[in-house]
Amino acid sequence: MPKNGQTQQFDKAAFQAAVEKHLTTTYASTADTATARSWYLAMGKALAEISTGNLLATEKNLAEQKARSVNYLSLEFLIGRLTGNNLISMGLYENVADAMEEMGQNLTDLLEEERDPALGNGGLGRLAACFMDSLAAQEYPAVGYGLHYEYGLFRQSFVDGRQVEAPDAWRGLEGYPWEVLRPELNQEVSLYGHVEAYTDENGVECRRWVPGMTVEGVAWDLPIVGYDNKSVYPLRLWECRSNAPFSLSRFNDGDYVGAQYSALEAGNVTKVLYPNDNHEQGKALRLMQQYFHCACSVADILRRHEAAGNSIESLSELETIQLNDTHPTIAIPELMRILLDEYKLGWDKAWEISSKTFAYTNHTLLPEALETWSEALIQQMLPRHMEIIFEINHRFMKLVEQTWPGNNEVKRKLSIIQEGPQRMVRMANLCVVSTYAVNGVAALHSELVKRDLFPEFNELFPGRLTNVTNGVTPRRWIKYCNPGLSTLISEKVGDDWPANLEKIAGLEKFADDEAFQKRYMAVKKENKQRLADWVQENMGIELDTDAIFDIQIKRLHEYKRQHLNLLNILALYHRLLNDPTFDMHPRVFFFGAKAAPGYALAKDIIFAINKVAEKVNNDPRLGGKLKVVFIPDYRVSLAEILFPAADVSEQISTAGKEASGTGNMKFAMNGALTIGTMDGANVEMREEVGDENIFIFGLLVDEVLKLKQEGYDPYRYYHADSLLRAALDLLETDEFTPGNPGQLAAIRHNLLDGGDPYLVLADFADYVKTQEKIDAEYRDQKTWARKAILNTALMSKFSSDRSIRDYANNIWKLEPVSL
């Protein structure tokens, strides 16, 4: 347990009094009648009092020290439940458990009352949350800027196997106990209108934006508590409200709804998180969200900068702004607008400041995820920003002309404006041109960014494109979610590993120690039991913890290839029923995944897995060897049960498509062995653990490209491989949908006649073979235990503390400042 300043300051009686006070005055309840939820809320409020005090002290200290800070701008922060995690960071877990016990309350039960703040879709949002944790743990001055969505990512349930979405009111009726309103930080945001030219008092020709409407940005802070230190950084979430609630004249005319129309409109802006992962839809309201987020955040950064007595010329010395993907790109023209139109700095000076302030992280190469916005839409909503984007592009095109004289093809390719029937603004190009650093998120991905996505930019701006391999926080993803393993690790390497994950390498020398292997596997077994109990209780499926727990949890997407996993399950089903010589170790295949509501094939894949699960889980002919469990409403709090319980981690994307992956790291830290392609961070994980401790299969990036160039024919694999044929053909029968043949046929059709865009069939045979190898190796529990221990021991590179140090040293040039 960390013993930091907060532990020493903890006054049990005062804390209990604060809980009681909130129970009565905030939640109108009494100790004898309060529900578990009221107790949880009151406890949360009492804890937030402590963290808010430290948040204000941290802000003051950083302003006084004139510390250089990073501002992490992201439309998503998938933070998960804060209470348990913050208690660990504050070093107060035991103290608070004890204090609550005395009040007749069990802390573990109270923690279950918290709803996950699901303010993100998947990898990109969860990365932002891990990064905030690592910034605070290492005291690199930081502010996270996001949106205060009223509804987070939808809640998922299954009705007859099909995904059904419901709104996620994560704050409940009472509000979230950790959030604090910061009314003094509110901002006014402009939209629409036109641009006008005018001559200023010095006779200089100027331009300015005359907005058509304004809305109000309301600031909410969530505390990001530094592990084992006193610093608390804000995750500042902006909520949009109307600042003109209704027009009095219209109200008097009896037009009650019309009078509140602007209030309704403004309230919509931060109403809901767009539920797309690795896909953009180009909706006007989404652009409004993005601009609203950026306008509030940039204004707040400038407010802080000036309040600390700093000149605008020194902005890039004291502040850097990291853009988490292109979603906050509009912050660039917004800062330029303020520097030009409000500070009147002139283009060259404004550009110098702005381009030294921003850096950009790319998270995907998938073309459908690369954002473009219609020029007409930006022109209408943000007319001055469109002018500024044109000017940036005009100057950039001159540079391209100097470098490649007369080459119109390269100009067309690099231009921020994409020509066509509808001109579009390419946000990624705007980012590369306007930032001082662009990074990919794993070594392979960053190479592909340079080689395939932006080769000319790499030539034009040598050194700008770089890599920072992703990581995950060991506090949440080992210490908090896997207490059994944590105790074991601390016993062997000391208890400071959560803040210094390099220490975990000390486990390597116990990999062959039989006594240690037994204890390590006993912890795994307990974690499998915890998951099995959850499944029994919530889904009514009974599981055997001697079976291999094989888990694929991530968003549902064709490129992640849950359907490759499904085809192997169908192949096993076929062999168990038709091949008397076939034997397998019992295995449970777990899935957890949400599909974007408009993504039909992804939803079909969920339906198919659920239908197959229904059948195999109840088919006595299988002798209990094969089970399939699709966990509904997969979210961070369920991930905390799933990662520690896995024997096998599925990381099976088509090579070149998964930028990094971060679930892969969480599994391996918790002792699951990976079955994976040479994609994303799998490549670097293999480097760390060695080829014998990971199961790699499938085509390499260049083999994928070559096969596609040569003309990929999925039928070739279908005809050549009888097992694949059997698996695919099962999808056309009514085997899993009795009386309704063809209900699962869309997947087969997509793979055979739809061209199999993600080469599922090409990788099938090698995948099946590698799964057989896993089956054989699992039977030798000693060797398996050794490999699992080595996975835990050799994962230190994938701590997000290391990622953040890479950003701080190589990109942001940031120094830690302790409180």
Q: What sign does the dihedral 220-149-298-352 (CA atoms) show?
A: positive
Q: What sign does the dihedral 663-666-668-671 (CA atoms) show?
A: negative
Q: How far is the CB of 341 from ligand 8GP (least distance, A)?
A: 31
Phi, psi of 148, rounded to the nearest 5 degrees:
-95, 75
Residue 276 is given by DSSP the state: -
Q: Is residue 363 within 8 Å of residue 441, measured between CB atoms?
A: yes
Q: Which is nearer to ligand 8GP, 209 or 454 (CB)?
A: 454
Beta bridge partners of 224: 233
Q: Does residue 560 have an active-site annotation?
A: yes
Q: How far is the CB of 648 from ligand 8GP (least distance, A)?
A: 20
Q: Is residue 359 within 8 Å of residue 323, measured between CB atoms?
A: yes
3-class secondary structure per residue, 83-110:
HHHHHHHHCCHHHHHHHHHHCCCCHHHH
Q: Which is nearer to ligand 8GP, 89 or 682 (CB)?
A: 682
- Residue number with the smallest Cβ distance to ligand 8GP: 123
Phi, psi of 371, rounded to the nearest 5 degrees:
-75, 135
Residue (of 573, 519, 598, 590) closest to 733 by Cα position: 573
Q: Does residue 555 have an active-site annotation?
A: yes
Q: Tokens representing 809?
A: 């040293």
Q: Which is nearer to ligand 8GP, 231 or 278 (CB)?
A: 278
In whole angstroms, what is the distance from residue 19 CA to residue 50 CA? 12
Catalytic residue among 555, 561, 587, 657: 555
Q: Is residue 80 within 8 Å of residue 636, measured between CB atoms?
A: yes
Q: How far is the CB of 311 from ligand 8GP (least distance, A)?
A: 35
Phi, psi of 164, rounded to the nearest 5 degrees:
-125, 135
Q: Does residue 363 have an active-site annotation?
A: yes
In whole angstroms, what is the distance from residue 118 CA to residue 692 CA? 37
In 241-329, alpha helices (H): 248-252, 256-259, 261-269, 284-307, 315-318
Q: How far is the CB of 361 from ligand 8GP (least distance, A)?
A: 7
Catalytic residue among 148, 327, 476, 554: 554
Angle at 463 between CA 462 and CA 468, to 5 degrees: 145
The residue behind tokens 């302790």 is 818
Q: Which is nearer to ligand 8GP, 27 or 72 (CB)?
A: 72
Q: Is residue 103 within 8 Å of residue 174, measured between CB atoms?
A: no
Catalytic residue among 68, 560, 594, 786: 560
Catalytic residue among 126, 293, 666, 787: 666
Q: Does residue 554 have an active-site annotation?
A: yes
Q: Which is nearer to ligand 8GP, 123 or 177 (CB)?
A: 123
Q: Is residue 524 within 8 Å of residue 788, measured between CB atoms?
A: yes
Residues near ligand 8GP (CB under 6 A) are 121-124, 127, 276-278, 325, 363-364, 369, 441, 470, 658-662, 680
Q: Which is nearer to ligand 8GP, 51 or 469 (CB)?
A: 469
In whole angstroms, what is the distance from residue 436 CA to residue 208 CA? 27
Q: Is residue 224 within 8 Å of residue 475, measured between CB atoms?
A: no
The residue behind tokens 């090409």 is 762
Q: Which is nearer to ligand 8GP, 2 or 123 (CB)?
A: 123
Q: How far is the CB of 768 from ligand 8GP (least distance, A)?
A: 25
Axis-axis angle for helices 123-137, 83-90 (nearest 10): 20
Q: Does residue 524 have an active-site annotation?
A: no
Q: Which is nearer to ligand 8GP, 658 or 735 (CB)?
A: 658
Beta bridge partners of 158: 163
Q: Does residue 45 have an active-site annotation?
A: no
| Distance set, CA 105 to CA 98, 133, 381, 635 (Å) | 9, 28, 52, 26
In whole angstroms, what is the distance from residue 259 CA to residue 252 CA? 9
In whole angstroms, what is the distance from residue 359 CA to residue 325 CA? 10
Q: How far is the CB of 363 from ligand 8GP (least distance, A)?
A: 4
Q: Which is nearer to ligand 8GP, 426 or 528 (CB)?
A: 426
Q: How far is the CB of 659 from ligand 8GP (least distance, A)?
A: 4
Q: How far is the CB of 681 from ligand 8GP (least distance, A)?
A: 7
Q: Which is nearer to ligand 8GP, 123 or 234 (CB)?
A: 123
In whole angstroms, what is the distance from residue 416 CA to residue 454 CA? 13
Catalytic residue among 236, 363, 561, 748: 363
Q: How far is the CB of 143 from ligand 8GP (least distance, A)?
A: 20
User: What SS3 state is found at 550?
Assistant: strand
Catalytic residue among 83, 662, 677, 770: 662
Q: Which is nearer to ligand 8GP, 424 or 570 (CB)?
A: 424
Angle at 131 between CA 130 and CA 132, to 5 degrees: 95
Residue (of 751, 702, 634) closest to 118 by Cα position: 634
Q: How far is the CB of 686 from ligand 8GP (least distance, A)?
A: 16
Q: How far is the CB of 94 from ligand 8GP (least distance, A)?
A: 34
Please identify every residue annotated as catalytic. 363, 554-555, 560, 662, 666
